[in-house]
Amino acid sequence: MLSLIYRAADAMRRRSYEANHGRIGEDLAHRYLRDKGCTVVARNYRPAVGHCEIDLVAWHGETLAFIEVKTRDTAEFGEPERAVDGEKQRHLVRAARDYTRRAGVEWRQVRFDVIAVTLSPRHIEWRRDAFH
């Protein structure tokens, strides 16, 4: 039943954001993580200060994963995850520190992942512990 509700919500969002590949990719990544046994606890987390956003925050066993989702229509112009450069990583770490402080999670339980989504043909790749 819950799966049906998720699919309906995803369909409604896609209708509203047809040209927004990022939003579609986040929906696909969210579902993918749920199917892999993760518990997604936040989407589009923004700390009170700063300008970074963490796409997904999920528990994977005893590890809290901060996940950046990169989506491309095709792989023609390179892999989506290549867009997570050093500056983006620093912003994500800063936002993750804010989240862990507020949630009371120890930093040793944290990792940073990247999920690369290609829409045509559809392909999802989950890179665990993509950076430190």
Domain count along the chain: 1
Q: For residue 37, give the CATH number of its domain.
A: 3.40.1350.10
* Nearest residue to 53 via CA among 18, 103, 104, 92: 92
pLDDT (average), residues 87-115: 95
- pLDDT recorded at residue 1: 66
Q: What are phi and psi of 23, to 5 degrees?
A: -65, -40
Q: Note whether 39 and 28 are within 8 A (CB).
A: no
For 1-48, write each residue's pLDDT tens digit.
Answer: 666 776 666 666 555 445 677 788 999 999 999 999 999 999 999 998
Higher pLDDT among residues 51 and 94, named by residue: 94
- pLDDT recorded at residue 84: 84
N-to-C CA span, the chain: 38
- pLDDT recorded at residue 73: 81
- pTM greater than 0.85: no
Residue spans of alpha helices (H) in the chain: 2-16, 21-35, 86-103
Question: Given the DSSP bridges, would you call strands 63-72 and 110-119 parallel, antiparallel or unpaired?
Answer: parallel
Domain region containing 63: 2-131
pLDDT bucket at 81, cuts 50 / 70 / 90: low
pLDDT bucket at 129, cuts 50 / 70 / 90: very high
Residue 132 has pLDDT above 80, yes or no: no
